[in-house]
Amino acid sequence: MRWFIYIQYFIMLVVFAFVALRGREITIFNDPNFMRAIWMTVLVALVVAVINLIVGNYVGYYLANMTGHRLTFFDVCLQLPLIVPLIVVAAGLDIWFIRLDLVETFFGVVLIQLLPTLPYSIRIARNAYTALDSDITQYVQLMGGTRKILVVDIYLPLMRRANETMLLFAVVISISQYAITSMIGGGIIQTIALILFPYFSSSQLQLVAAAALCTIGMTYGILLIFRWMYIGVIKLVRMIDG
């Protein structure tokens, strides 16, 4: 089944690449802000993904070990950003961002993009930690293991798939955000969504294929780098510890 999905993705990429190459003169590639927007998009997506991974794991682990009315309260809080329309929440936060001088800044765009991404990451991490044995910490302590061993040798390998899922969610949502990015970025912080949006009204199939290739390429590029660094960090820490 997994190979069938891989083959479908490969065929899709080949078709998109063929269609994009058929349009040899796509106006978007002549835009001087296009490459700058790609680098800005990657930078914003990376920062958003790192914050999602750190906060998602910490809060998810805490919620996985929580019971009672407090858990219900936090569940409702996590659902609110997903139920309330995002543009309404962003419009309300825009006033506070103006007061804090975060409008038209890189940090402001990163903060506003945490709104649609962080609830997903926390829920994914919480479900992953809940699926693990709740007595893992006690087992490691009984065998004389430290907290460092618990994190590096136990949780990091077991949480790899969940962390990759959180990364994909954060990157894809970050790249595709147009309304809240333009609202807080004010056109100063230009991402690829802001550059591509005006071109979609032209109904050029080549342009849509090129945009899809850019989005898929950036997402999978970041994922491959993350996998390489994730495994490398685990091996490096183990090698240092001997």
pLDDT in tens, 36-49: 888 899 999 999 99
Q: What SS3 class is residue 134? A: coil
In the DSSP assignment, the letter for residue 211 is H
Residue 225 placed within a domain: yes
Domain that holds residue 108: 34-241
Residue 17 placed within a domain: no
In the DSSP assignment, the letter for residue 24 is S
Residue 26 placed within a domain: no
Provide long-range contacts, Cβ within 8 A and 24+ apart, for 101-105: 102/184, 103/184, 103/186, 104/184, 104/185, 104/186, 104/187, 104/188, 104/189, 105/188, 105/189
Residue 119 placed within a domain: yes
Q: Which pLDDT does position 16 carry in this prediction? A: 60
Residue 129: partners with Cβ closer than 8 Å, 6 or more residues away:
60, 61, 64, 65, 159
Q: The CATH number of the domain where 130 resides is what?
A: 1.10.3720.10
Residue 6 placed within a domain: no
Q: Which pLDDT does position 50 carry in this prediction? A: 93
Residue 13 placed within a domain: no
Mean pLDDT of 214-224: 81
Mean pLDDT of 123-129: 90
Number of separate domains in the chain: 1
Residue 80 placed within a domain: yes
Residue 166 has pLDDT above 70, yes or no: yes
Q: With bands split at pLDDT 50, 70 and 90, how would you rate the model's confidence at 18?
A: low
Give per-residue pLDDT as tens, 147-163.
777 777 788 888 888 99
Residue 5 has pLDDT above 60, yes or no: no
- What pTM was estimated for this model as a whole? 0.84
Residue 173 placed within a domain: yes
